[in-house]
Amino acid sequence: MAKISSRQFDDNLRRRYRRRFGKALDVPAASTRLARKRREEIVELAQAVAGEYCPDGRVEPDQIARAKQITMSFGEYGDSFDGMLEHRAGRYHIFCNVESAGFADSPRARFTLAHELGHYYIDEHRNALAAGRAPMHRSVCEYESRNLAEQEADLFAAHLLLPQERFVDKARSVQPGLAGILSLAETFGTSLTSTAIRYAEANLLPCAAIKWNWNHYAWKKLSSAAFAARYRRTVEAPENLPPDSPTTRALAHEIPPARGYFQAGTTAATWFPRVQEGEFRDIIFLEQAIPLGRWGVLTFLYTQEK
């Protein structure tokens, strides 16, 4: 299949939509955060689906798709999207872009399939797609979308692939920090990013996962223990970090040691601007930073102190 740009893909999509529905494509983006109740509903839904179709071991999103008679195809679509759910003539089809997500059993492809299953299982998404109110659209699965529907599908995917009880049980038995997160990602067949987020959500210790694109800060996820201890706002400009910090070294494209990530001790005051140097909250953290290839760098901060 010939490669197409994002603009070409969008233009093709608009033309197909006009031919089918007789009007222009208009799908407004939302920029609000998910409400707690809504998050709980989606998490419960994802875990119910995982329990029904894959009650033990690794969750297989392709197996769930086949059980729901959702067809799939893997192709080269340039930088147009990671995944896409299409509805036509009463049937659903998932497109997966091998150039960005990889092939069927790669962690990113598994997350992409789970994300598109989120659009299918979340009633509002599926009904809007079937009714033509929200036609097929490009999904990019890197936890950076400001679109509310994309945030919901990301949340569904993370909890489908990493069900709470199974994940917490395994997480308690591995080393803290990136060593354990890498082990968990291998066990569950998930991306490092989604596994780190779920690790922080599990609140096993005070920690923060911070995602950087190669040229700027992207987002962070704090454990509730870190948030409660008022470790909240973090450094968002790499130039404000020490020049020899693990994150600075990873962002400078240095080659990490054999374990795959940089690591060094740091202080709360280095990473949390509202913590004053030498005050009681200025405790020691372990800073770890790992390159994510084309998707940037992930920093993980944690402490054993409560």
pLDDT digits over 230-245, tens only? 999 999 999 999 999 9
Same domain, 19 and 109: yes
Same domain, 125 and 13: yes
Average pLDDT over residues 4-15: 48
242 found inside a domain: yes
Same domain, 136 and 223: no
pLDDT the model gives residue 170: 96
CA separation for the pair 53, 68 (Å, rounded): 10
pLDDT value at 24 more than 90: no
pLDDT value at 30 more than 50: no
Radius of gyration of the chain (CA): 20
Q: Which of 156, 11, 134 lies closest to 84, judged by CA?
A: 134
pLDDT value at 143 more than 90: no
Same domain, 143 and 209: no
Mean pLDDT of the chain: 86
Same domain, 141 and 211: no
pLDDT value at 25 more than 60: no
Q: Which of 235, 210, 302 lies closest to 263, judged by CA?
A: 302
143 found inside a domain: yes
Q: Which one of 114, 148, 182 terminates a domain?
A: 148
% of the chain at pLDDT higher than 90: 65
Same domain, 226 and 109: no
pLDDT the model gives residue 8: 52
pLDDT the model gives residue 150: 87
pLDDT value at 1 more than 70: no
For the chain, the domain total comes to: 2
Pick the more confident residue, 96 or 286.
286
Q: Which one of 108, 131, 148 terminates a domain?
A: 148
pLDDT value at 18 more than 80: no
pLDDT the model gives residue 34: 80
140 found inside a domain: yes
47 found inside a domain: no
141 found inside a domain: yes
Same domain, 13 and 100: yes
Sign of CA pseudo-dihedral 296, 231, 240, 283: negative
Same domain, 241 and 127: no
223 found inside a domain: yes
Give 185-230 pLDDT, tens digit per residue: 999 999 999 999 999 999 999 999 999 999 899 999 999 999 999 9
Q: If DSSP codes are grouped into helix, strand and coil, which group holds residue 241? A: coil
Average pLDDT over residues 283-297: 95
Q: Which of 284, 240, 243 lies closest to 262, judged by CA?
A: 243
Give 99-139 pLDDT, tens digit per residue: 766 677 889 889 999 999 999 999 999 888 888 776 555 55
Residue-range definition of the domain harbouring residue 228 = 205-302
Give 49-92 pLDDT, tens digit per residue: 999 999 999 999 999 999 999 998 888 777 667 788 888 888 99
* Domain harbouring 289, CATH code: 3.30.450
Look up residue 46 and give its DSSP letter. H
277 found inside a domain: yes
pLDDT the model gives residue 137: 55
158 found inside a domain: no
CA separation for the pair 197, 260 (Å, rounded): 19
Pick the more confident residue, 243 or 32.
243
Average pLDDT over residues 283-295: 95
Q: Which one of 128, 148, 168 terminates a domain?
A: 148
Parallel, antiparallel, or unpaired: how do β-strands 71-75 and 91-97 relate? parallel
pLDDT the model gives residue 130: 83
* Domain harbouring 18, CATH code: 3.30.2010
pLDDT the model gives residue 192: 94
pLDDT the model gives residue 76: 79
Contact 95, 75 (CB under 8 A): yes
